[in-house]
């Protein structure tokens, strides 16, 4: 299995190092699983690719713990949503071989690895004085403990609270009360002897009452930690909710870390992140275990526009140098404009230095350099006016760590990538810190559509959040497509007979290229009432003369699909089609288009001017596995259509949708696509991710679905396919677009 390189592409909420084994690092993503650092290749190794479509929820990682006593041991808290959007419970993935293999332990609750506040933590903690003991802070279900390295779990009944604050915005939009719960657990390793367990344990809670609890008897009893800081806005105790649109209530302890100087360092933020504004403030406080006193070590005011902010600095993460515990680095959260700021202290937080500053408006002085050549799309194809820069230093910075064995090495995660430096101490000498992309091996994109071209670039992708790419080279990241910039591209198509003409659609915008993706232009006129919501579809005729656009509408506005024969200068409604119909083009006949909506299959034979009902067939798919109908037309075969319809299986038509036959043995089909035919076959190779005769996999057929050959093995499932296509020029190569693991592909050697 190989990867089409994008390098990064998503949010990295947590970075975890092992304090006793050099170069043993892990990181977690919100939708793309967990990774381990490989120091020999300087790449990140994905750990849970063995999980397939039915385990899609486990690709949202809520926390990771690496064992400080036996570094080979690893525990991953896996679960993406506390809602019922996915099937099955959350799991603890327990490994005794650095994540090479896992035992899966079902938990009696769900987790929120891709929910609000996912950058807090870490929720998992292993006792350094008795590594059999593991704690986990759940999402509104209390504090949990294992006494056997994570294989069995029990609720800590003596812990007095579960965390009563829920995300009001999420509740408004979804109708689900998501409780942040217990975001971190920290042991004082000096409070016990090896083999006997730690006596002093500290737990952070997102609650309207006290937010830090302490146990002095190894977890038997708990009480609020004395003297803990807290800033409460009026009304928080009454409401018990957190909203990014209103005063957020209080400063919440988003991070709790152990300092080798014998202290608990707590980072506070007025929201729980990763999107909440920094404007309401935050703080950093340090609690000394020996003196049992608190010290305010908060970041200083540094605001280019102080008219609408407090002097308190919202904090996303804080890290300590284990070689020199008085050295700290902290990040702001989320100062969207002009940029996030990293701070460094060499005196235990008494004073801080920013990594960039404004000397005279708008002149910005950077005390760092940033090399993003490994992922050139990170500048979003733009140049910003000072004091803003492109690429930014980062955003959503909640993952930040200094190598415990090397004071010069630091890593931090952003909403799009992982950055690394190997000369961090240059900061103290007044020299520039060299920051570079450290995400080699991480592929964390949600791929919404793929097209393989018969000529030119081998692949074009549509992606969530970062738009997508024309992949002129598969093993090298490409610049982002701009003009227009489209944040999330949900549909890509090209003219079968003129493949240099490509269209891409998303966020209510349609872009056209007429030179194979080298340059792009937005359509001259958008459809009135088009929203920027995800969804919708677009298709172009085989000869490139007609575009059909079925975008999502604004709230309360339903848009009938339209056609254009002048690249979007004028649009005309498609007669006979309802709003929100999904549209595709025939790959042979330029006059034929097909559409589906609510159990009805439509066809046009006049270039999308009008559509007629040709069949009533219920393709309604099961909502689990984020499944929606995946329908494709076969190149070189007029009227040949295939549909991957979730639990309804894999179906095909040879007559434009008038009649359909179900492919036998298929229990569940996620996506379908086509590639170059075998030398002895008259039909394109068919590829699909499906559950076939009891087993999930990626499958290939060279005889129109009569027989199937499995392409991948059980270690290469990579979650759930959003789209799939064979290569048009290389027989046996198949690309699968995943929801969080980027574009993976297989090919016959």
Reported as a single tens digit per residue, the pLDDT across 672-683 is: 999 999 999 999
Q: Per the structure block, which two tokens stand in for 230?
A: 């807290």
Query: What pLDDT, on a 0 to 100 scale, did the predictor assign at position 308?
Result: 43
Q: What is the mean pLDDT of residues 210-220?
A: 97
Cα 297 to Cα 306: distance, rounded to the nearest angstrom:
21
Cα-based torsion angle of the residue sequence 187, 191, 196, 199 in order, rounded to the nearest 10 degrees: -70
> Over 90: is that where the pLDDT of 462 sits?
yes
> Over 70: is that where the pLDDT of 247 sits?
no
> Are the C-beta atoms of residues 556 and 578 closer than 8 Å to each other?
no
Distance (Å) of CA 464 to CA 136, 379, 490, 535, 581:
31, 17, 7, 11, 21
Closest to 95 (Cα-Cα) out of 146, 133, 58, 149: 149
Q: What is the mean pLDDT of residues 78-106?
A: 94
Please give the backbone phi and psi of residue 238, each rounded to the nearest 5 degrees, phi first. Answer: -75, -40
> Are the C-beta atoms of residues 315 and 332 closer than 8 Å to each other?
yes
Q: Is 657 left (phi over 0), alpha (psi -120 to 50) or beta?
A: left
Cα 562 to Cα 568: distance, rounded to the nearest angstrom:
10
Q: Is the dihedral of CA 51, 57, 61, 65 positive or negative?
A: negative
Query: What pLDDT, on a 0 to 100 scale, did the predictor assign at position 234?
Result: 39
Please give the backbone phi and psi of residue 520, each rounded to the nearest 5 degrees, phi first. Answer: -140, 155
Cis peptide before 395 (omega within 30 of 0): no
Instruction: Report residue 453's pLDDT band, with 50, 70 and 90 as the boundaries.
Output: very high
Q: pTM for the whole thing?
A: 0.95
Query: What pLDDT, on a 0 to 100 scale, did the predictor assign at position 335?
Result: 86
Cα 549 to Cα 565: distance, rounded to the nearest angstrom:
12
Q: Burial, 748: exposed, middle or buried (Cβ in 10 Å; 0-12, 13-18, 19+)?
A: exposed
Q: What is the mean pLDDT of residues 209-235?
A: 86
Cα 33 to Cα 159: distance, rounded to the nearest angstrom:
30
Query: What pLDDT, on a 0 to 100 scale, did the predictor assign at position 279?
Result: 58
As a whole number of angstroms, the longest Cα–Cα distance in the chain is 83
> Are the C-beta atoms of residues 484 and 525 closer than 8 Å to each other?
no
Question: What is the DSSP secondary structure assignment for residue 574, as one 8-state letter?
Answer: P
Tokens 């591209």, located at residue: 489
Which sequence positions are flagged as catalytic?
A: 30, 465
């Amino acid at each position: 299995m190989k990867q089409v390189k994008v390098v990064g592409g998503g949010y990295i909420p947590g970075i975890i190092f092992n304090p006793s084994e050099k170069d043993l690092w892990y990181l977690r993503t919100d939708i793309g699983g967990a990774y381990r650092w490989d120091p020999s290749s300087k790449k990140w190794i994905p750990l849970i690719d063995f999980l397939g479509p039915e385990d899609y929820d486990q690709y949202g990682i809520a926390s990771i713990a690496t064992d400080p006593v036996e570094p080979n041991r690893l525990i991953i808290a896996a679960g993406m949503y506390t809602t019922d959007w996915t099937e099955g419970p959350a799991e603890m993935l327990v490994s005794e071989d650095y994540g090479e293999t896992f035992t899966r332990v079902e938990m009696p609750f769900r987790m929120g690895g891709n929910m609000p506040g996912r950058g807090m933590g870490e929720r998992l903690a292993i006792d350094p004085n008795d590594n059999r003991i593991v704690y986990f802070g759940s999402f509104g279900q209390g504090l949990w403990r294992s006494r056997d390295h994570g294989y069995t779990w029990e609720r800590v009944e003596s812990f007095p609270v579960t965390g009563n604050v829920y995300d009001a915005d999420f509740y408004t939009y979804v109708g689900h009360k998501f409780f942040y719960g217990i975001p971190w657990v920290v042991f004082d390793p000096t409070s016990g002897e090896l083999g006997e367990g730690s006596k002093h344990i500290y737990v952070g809670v997102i609650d309207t009452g006290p937010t830090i609890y302490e146990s002095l008897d190894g977890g038997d009893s708990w009480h609020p930690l004395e003297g803990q800081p807290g800033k409460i806005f009026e009304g928080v105790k009454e409401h018990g909710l957190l909203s990014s649109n209103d005063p957020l209530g209080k400063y919440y302890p988003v991070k709790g870390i152990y300092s080798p100087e014998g202290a608990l360092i707590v980072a506070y933020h007025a929201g729980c992140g990763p999107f909440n504004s920094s404007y309401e403030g935050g703080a950093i406080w340090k609690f000394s275990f020996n003196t049992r006193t608190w010290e305010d070590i908060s970041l200083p005011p540094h605001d280019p526009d102080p008219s609408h902010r407090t002097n308190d600095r919202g904090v996303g993460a804080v890290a300590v140098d284990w070689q020199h515990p008085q050295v700290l680095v902290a990040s702001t959260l989320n100062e969207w404009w002009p940029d996030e700021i990293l701070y460094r202290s060499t005196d235990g937080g008494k004073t801080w230095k920013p990594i960039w500053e404004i000397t005279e408006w708008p002149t910005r002085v950077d005390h760092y350099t940033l090399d993003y050549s490994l992922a050139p799309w990170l500048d979003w194809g733009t140049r910003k006016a000072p004091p803003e820069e492109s690429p930014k230093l980062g955003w959503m910075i909640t993952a930040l760590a200094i190598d415990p064995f090397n004071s010069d090495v630091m890593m931090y995660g952003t909403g799009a990538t992982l950055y690394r430096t190997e000369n961090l101490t240059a900061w103290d000498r007044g020299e520039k810190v060299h920051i570079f992309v450290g995400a080699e091996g991480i592929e964390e994109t949600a791929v919404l559509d793929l097209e393989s071209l018969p000529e030119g670039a081998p692949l074009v992708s549509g992606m969530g959040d970062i738009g997508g790419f024309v992949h002129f080279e598969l093993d090298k990241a490409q610049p982002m497509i701009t003009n227009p910039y489209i944040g999330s591209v949900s549909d890509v198509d090209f003219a079968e007979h003129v493949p240099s003409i490509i269209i891409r659609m998303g966020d209510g915008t349609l872009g056209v290229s007429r030179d194979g993706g080298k340059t792009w232009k937005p359509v001259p006129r958008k459809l009135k009432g088009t929203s920027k919501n995800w969804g919708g579809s677009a298709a172009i005729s085989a000869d490139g003369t007609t575009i059909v656009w079925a975008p999502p509408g604004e709230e309360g506005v339903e848009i009938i699909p339209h056609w254009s024969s002048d690249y979007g200068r004028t649009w005309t409604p498609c007669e006979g089609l309802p709003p929100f119909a999904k549209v595709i083009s025939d790959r042979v006949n330029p006059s034929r288009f097909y559409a589906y909506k609510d159990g009805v299959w439509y066809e046009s034979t006049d270039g999308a001017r009008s559509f007629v009902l040709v069949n009533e067939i219920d393709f309604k798919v099961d909502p689990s596995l984020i499944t929606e109908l995946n329908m494709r037309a076969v190149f070189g075969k007029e009227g040949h259509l295939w549909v991957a319809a979730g639990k309804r299986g894999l179906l095909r038509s040879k007559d434009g949708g008038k009649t359909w036959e179900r492919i036998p043995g298929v229990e569940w089909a996620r996506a379908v696509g086509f590639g170059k035919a075998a030398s002895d076959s008259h039909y394109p190779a068919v590829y699909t991710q499906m559950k076939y005769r009891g087993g999930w996999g990626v499958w290939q057929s060279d005889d129109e679905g009569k027989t199937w050959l499995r392409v991948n093995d059980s270690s290469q499932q990579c979650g759930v396919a959003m789209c799939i296509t064979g290569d048009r020029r290389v027989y046996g190569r198949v690309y699968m677009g995943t929801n969080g693991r980027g574009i993976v592909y297989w090919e016959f050697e």
